[in-house]
C-alpha cells in the first residue's frame, strides 16, 4: 500500500496544498493541454506543485478530492453523521475511509478548525485485521501531517490572508513521512 497523494483543504474548502507522490501511470495523455500548461510533467514527482498560483495535479486526483469533499459534508451534517466526532484528539479528527475509486482509497481527517486533510492510497485487498492496522497507521500519518501543518502556520512570516502551504521545510519533512509510510506499508 502506498500513499498516492495528499490534499489539504481549508475552512472554506479552498485548496491549501495538493501533492502527488507517484507520477500517474496511464494518466490522460492530454493532461498538460487540458490544464493549459505548456510543460509536460517530469517522470519524478515534481519538487513543487505550486506554480503560477495553481496547484498542478492530475484530473483524477481532483475528481477524487471533490467526491471526498461531498462525502465529508454528508458525514459532518446533522446526526447521526456526527457520531465519529466525540472522541478526543486524533481519534476524533480522523474521519476514516471516505470512498473507494478503482484501486484507490481516500481517507479523511478533519481538524477542529475545519482544516481537512485527504490522503489517497492505493491498496490491495487486506484481511480485516490487516486493514485495521493499516487504518491505524494512516491515522497516525495524518496526525503527524497535522502537526507539520501547525508548525508551518507558526512561522511568523506566513501571511494569514493566504493560507496556502508554500514552505520548503514542510515539503521536505512531508516527503520523509511519506517515504517512511510507504516503506512500512510495503511490507504488508
Partner 1 sequence: MSKSSASTNGATLWAKTPKANAELFSLTYGSLVTEVVRDADGNVNEINEQLEKIGYSIGIRSVDEFLAKSNAAHCRSLQDTAQVLGKTAFKMFLGIDCDVQILSPTTFSLIMQENPLYLFVELPENYKETLQYAILYCGIIRGALEMLNYKVECTLVKNILKGDDVDEIKVELKQILQDGAGDDYKED
Give the shortest CB-3-to-partner 1 separation in angstroms: 24
Q: Classify residue 87 as exposed, middle or buried by CB count within 10 Å of its CB (0-12, 13-18, 19+).
A: exposed
Q: Which of 96, 29, 94, 89 lies closest to 59, judged by CA?
A: 29
Closest separation in Å from C-beta 56 to partner 1: 19
Q: Pick the closer one to partner 1 by CB: 41 or 148.
A: 148
Q: How far is CA 21 from CA 6, 45, 186, in A?
A: 8, 6, 15
- Least distance from partner 1 to the Cβ atom of residue 172, Å: 11
Burial of 80 (0-12, 13-18, 19+ CB in 10 A): exposed
Binding mask 35-74 for partner 1 (x = CB under 8 A): ----------------------------------------
Q: Which is nearer to partner 1, 113 or 159 (CB)?
A: 159
Paired with 3 in beta bridges are 121
Closer of 2 and 166 to partner 1 (Cβ): 166
Residues numbered 142-171 forming contacts with partner 1, rule: CB under 8 A: 151-152, 154-157, 167-169
Quote the least distance from Cβ 98 to partner 1, whole Å: 31
Distances (CA, A) of 150 to 29, 45, 108, 115, 186: 37, 24, 17, 11, 28
**Number of residues located near partner 1, criterion CB under 8 A:** 9
Place of cell 487504518: 135
- Restricting to residues 96-115, name those near partner 1 by CB under 8 A: none
Contact positions toward partner 1, by CB under 8 A? Answer: 151-152, 154-157, 167-169
Amino acid at each position: 500500500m502506498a500513499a498516492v497523494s495528499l490534499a489539504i483543504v481549508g475552512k472554506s474548502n479552498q485548496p491549501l496544498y495538493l501533492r502527488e507522490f507517484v507520477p500517474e501511470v496511464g494518466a490522460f495523455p492530454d493532461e498538460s493541454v487540458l490544464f493549459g500548461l505548456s510543460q509536460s510533467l517530469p517522470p519524478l514527482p515534481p519538487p513543487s506543485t505550486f506554480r503560477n498560483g495553481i496547484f498542478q495535479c492530475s484530473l483524477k486526483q481532483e475528481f477524487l478530492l471533490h467526491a471526498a469533499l461531498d462525502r465529508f459534508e454528508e458525514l459532518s451534517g446533522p446526526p447521526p453523521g456526527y457520531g465519529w466526532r466525540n472522541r478526543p484528539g486524533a481519534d476524533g479528527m480522523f474521519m476514516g475511509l471516505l470512498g473507494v475509486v478503482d484501486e484507490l482509497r481516500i481517507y479523511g481527517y478533519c481538524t477542529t478548525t475545519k482544516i481537512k486533510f485527504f490522503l489517497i492510497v492505493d491498496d490491495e485487498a487486506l484481511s480485516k485485521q490487516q486493514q485495521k492496522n493499516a487504518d491505524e497507521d494512516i491515522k497516525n500519518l495524518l496526525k503527524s501531517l497535522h502537526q507539520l501543518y501547525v508548525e508551518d502556520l507558526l512561522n511568523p512570516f506566513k501571511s494569514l490572508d493566504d493560507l496556502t502551504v508554500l514552505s520548503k521545510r514542510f515539503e521536505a519533512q512531508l516527503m520523509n513521512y511519506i517515504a517512511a509510510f510507504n516503506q512500512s506499508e510495503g511490507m504488508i
